[in-house]
Amino acid sequence: MNEGEIIKYLRNRFGNKIRRTDICRDRRFYINVDSDCLKDVCKVIFRDLDARFITSIGVDERQYNGGFLVAHNFAFDSWKLLCSLQTNVDGDSPSVQSITDIVPASNWAEREFRDLLGIEPVGHIYPKRLVLPDGWPDGVYPLRKDFPYDSVPEGFDENRSFKFDDAPPGCVVVPFGPFHPTLDEPAHFRLYVEGEMVRGCEYRGFMAHRGIEKLGESVLTYNEIPMAAERICGICGCVHNVAYAQAVENAVGIMPPPRSEYIRTIMLELERLHSHLLWVGLACHISGFDTLFMHCFRIREPVMWIAEKISGNRKTYALCLIGGVRWDITEELNQELREVIGKLETSWREVVKAVEKDSNLQKRTRGVGIADKKLVKESALLGPVARAAGVPIDSRRDHPYAAYNRVEFDVVVSDFCDVWGRLIVRMYEVFESIKIIRQCLQKIEPGSIQATITDEIPVGRFGMSSVEAPRGECHHFVITGENNRPRRWRVRAPTYQNLQGVPTMIKDQQLADMTLALASIDPCFSCTDRLETVDIKTGKVRVYSAKELETLFLWR
């Protein structure tokens, strides 16, 4: 089906309840429905039309039309479509039907707009605080437009602690995190362990909030946001950078020149290379195989060097502006890049050979952290996790962007459903990335790297962009606004969905496999925790109070 047929299908089912539809460029479309039939439309889209849930977004539009906007974004991967299903919500006591009983994957996203905008998802299956810190007062919603970005709310109670659920009978609680050698970033898993078996867990995350979305909506300008977006993640920063730029370009119809699209593709694939190399190394480290870990990092290093040579930085490339890129790939760099990926390919073949015949490593990873097709659908899992479960989704092919429609590559799929499968998928994706970079270097066209933008960016347009990060699809949603900045900018990193699948993946598994199963989604907590303003206290033991910390560092 195409956009028109889907809309026709929905109109036949729901008639006038479909208020407004809008088909936009790049195979994106928007549907606005009555709030009382939101759940039913979701059901048809998610179950009957078999769409993949992306994320839910809440928008404060009270200063324009007195209400809020709630959007559920879906992707029709096989029809190469992105859809945003929207409904307007009353401004005084905002509430909306929860879709969690139909789309379990929307669990976090709905709790997020409840925490941050105060839109109540009625009938949510697990309405617990998700994003805000423990001491945050009730009834204060930081992402509303009338909440200044730099304010600390009255009544912040440092002593209030998070209430965890009760452990099931017969289980011991093993705290995993916020600080643990295999967690690069703070996150807390409360594991319920019986002997050596994990019977369940509760997650408390969002400990590294930096308020980046709020900053983007209230302080930064269109061309400053890409640099802030990049700092959402330390590993896949370029993905956020490109995804944001593309979302704005999609909203207002700016066409970046072809050369810049090739450069974006090359940098994204360079990033995937170093990320996958890093991940395979880490997986080996976690299973105690430090030798391969060291070799992976040795092989990865030249990728960082060439990235530094192109952009001036090993990691944060500061690549995109709206309508183009900032760094050109000269003939000399082109040549050098070819050499680097040539060498990389040879040495990576050796690593793949070593891993594939290592029965010891297979023993540790086979049957661990199972995520099958059903879990992928229900929790909307992404990237290598989905592809290792035999679900062939890849935004590069399904929702092509940059120069991906001009290069040939395969989507690596495996049927193991476990950590071993994810290892295989990631290892072979390295070869696909090398293939893509080679083609780009060959096909890259001469010309400008930045589109000339003469007009001001129009207000109130919607834009969506999906970029395949090394960990899965990264989705950015933008509503353009006044003052040279977006009115709403929502980021959904792949870990946001994949992390929701972890409790199921580790259930009834050995405690020893917990770290491996968690690492297999390549969790990126800073991506997930990108929102909000203040968070000081985590866990039971606190050395400094907020006040002490402030005097300690003398902020202002």
Partner 1 sequence: MMIKILSALTNVVIVLAVAPLIEGIMRKITARIQSRQGPPILQPYYDLMKLLIKEDIESGESPSMQRFSAIMAFASALTVVALLPLGFGYGLSSHTDIILTIYLLTFCGVCTLIAGLAAGSTYSLVGISREMMLMIPLEPILAVALIIAATNSGSFKLDAVLNGSIYNSPGIFPISSIIILVIILASFQAYAQRVPFDISEAETEIMDGPLVEYSGPKLALFKYSRMIRLVIYCALFIGLFVPWGSNLMFPFGFLIFWFKVLLLVLLVTVVAATHARYRIDQAINYFAIMLLVSFFALALASIGL
Closest separation in Å from C-beta 1 to partner 1: 47
Q: Which stretch binds partner 1 (CB under 8 A): 31-39, 212-220, 336-344, 512-520?
A: 512-520
Question: How many angstroms separate the Cα of 492 from the Cα of each of 239, 389, 418?
Answer: 12, 22, 24
Q: In which element (H, E) is residue 18 found?
A: strand 18-24
Number of residues that bind partner 1 (CB under 8 A): 31
Which of 363, 374, 443, 547 lies at the binding interface for partner 1 (CB under 8 A)? Answer: 363
Using alpha carbons, select from 353, 356, 354, 346 the residue that is nearest to residue 414: 356
Which of 32, 95, 182, 316 lies at the binding interface for partner 1 (CB under 8 A)? Answer: 182
Residues in region 83-102 near partner 1 by CB under 8 A: none
> What stretches of 195-290 adopt beta strand conformation (E)?
197-204
Residue 466 makes CB contacts below 8 A (sequence gap 6+) with 54, 75, 82, 243, 395, 399, 401, 473, 474, 475
Using alpha carbons, select from 132, 219, 159, 144 the residue that is nearest to residue 533: 132
295: contact with partner 1 by CB under 8 A: yes
Residue 555 makes CB contacts below 8 A (sequence gap 6+) with none
Q: In which element (H, E) is residue 336 found?
A: helix 331-356
Question: How many angstroms separate the Cα of 501 from the Cα of each of 51, 59, 370, 518?
Answer: 18, 26, 10, 10
Which of 514, 518, 521, 527 lies at the binding interface for partner 1 (CB under 8 A)? Answer: 514
Which of 336, 515, 546, 549 lies at the binding interface for partner 1 (CB under 8 A)? Answer: 515
Whether a cis peptide bond, with omega within 30° of 0, leads into 392 is: no
Q: In which element (H, E) is residue 545 found?
A: none
401: contact with partner 1 by CB under 8 A: no
171: contact with partner 1 by CB under 8 A: no
Amino acid of residue 433: S
Which of 289, 462, 489, 525 lies at the binding interface for partner 1 (CB under 8 A)? Answer: 289
Which of 62, 129, 144, 180 lies at the binding interface for partner 1 (CB under 8 A)? Answer: 180
1: contact with partner 1 by CB under 8 A: no
288: contact with partner 1 by CB under 8 A: yes
Closest separation in Å from C-beta 271 to partner 1: 24
Which residue's CB is nearer to partner 1, number 20 or number 540?
540
Instruction: List, in sequence order, every residue forming a beta bridge with 82; answer none if it has no partner.
Output: 28, 75
Q: Which stretch binds partner 1 (CB under 8 A): 12-20, 169-177, 388-396, 532-540?
A: 169-177
Instruction: List, in sequence order, every residue forming a beta bridge with 176; answer none if it has no partner.
Output: 189
**Cβ count near 279 (within 10 Å):** 22
Residues in region 296-335 near partner 1 by CB under 8 A: 298
Find how far residue 97's CA is from the centre of its chain.
24
458: contact with partner 1 by CB under 8 A: no
Q: Which stretch binds partner 1 (CB under 8 A): 258-266, 291-299, 375-383, 471-479?
A: 291-299
From residue 490 to residue 509, what is the string marking binding to partner 1 with x (rule CB under 8 A)? --------------------
Q: Which stretch binds partner 1 (CB under 8 A): 13-21, 174-182, 478-486, 529-537?
A: 174-182
Which residue's CB is nearer to partner 1, number 122 or number 172?
172
512: contact with partner 1 by CB under 8 A: yes
Q: In which element (H, E) is residue 52 found?
A: strand 52-61
Using alpha carbons, select from 529, 509, 531, 530 the residue that is nearest to residue 520: 509
From residue 428 to residue 447, what is the string marking binding to partner 1 with x (rule CB under 8 A)? --------------------
Closest separation in Å from C-beta 516 to partner 1: 9
Measured CA to CA, the distance from residue 162 to residue 165 in angstroms comes to: 10
Which of 157, 166, 290, 548 lies at the binding interface for partner 1 (CB under 8 A)? Answer: 290
Question: How many angstroms separate the Cα of 430 from the Cα of each of 2, 278, 387, 390?
Answer: 33, 11, 14, 18
Q: Which stretch binds partner 1 (CB under 8 A): 35-43, 230-238, 357-365, 382-390?
A: 357-365
Residues that bind partner 1 (CB under 8 A): 172-175, 180-182, 196, 284-291, 293-295, 298, 358, 360-361, 363-364, 510-515
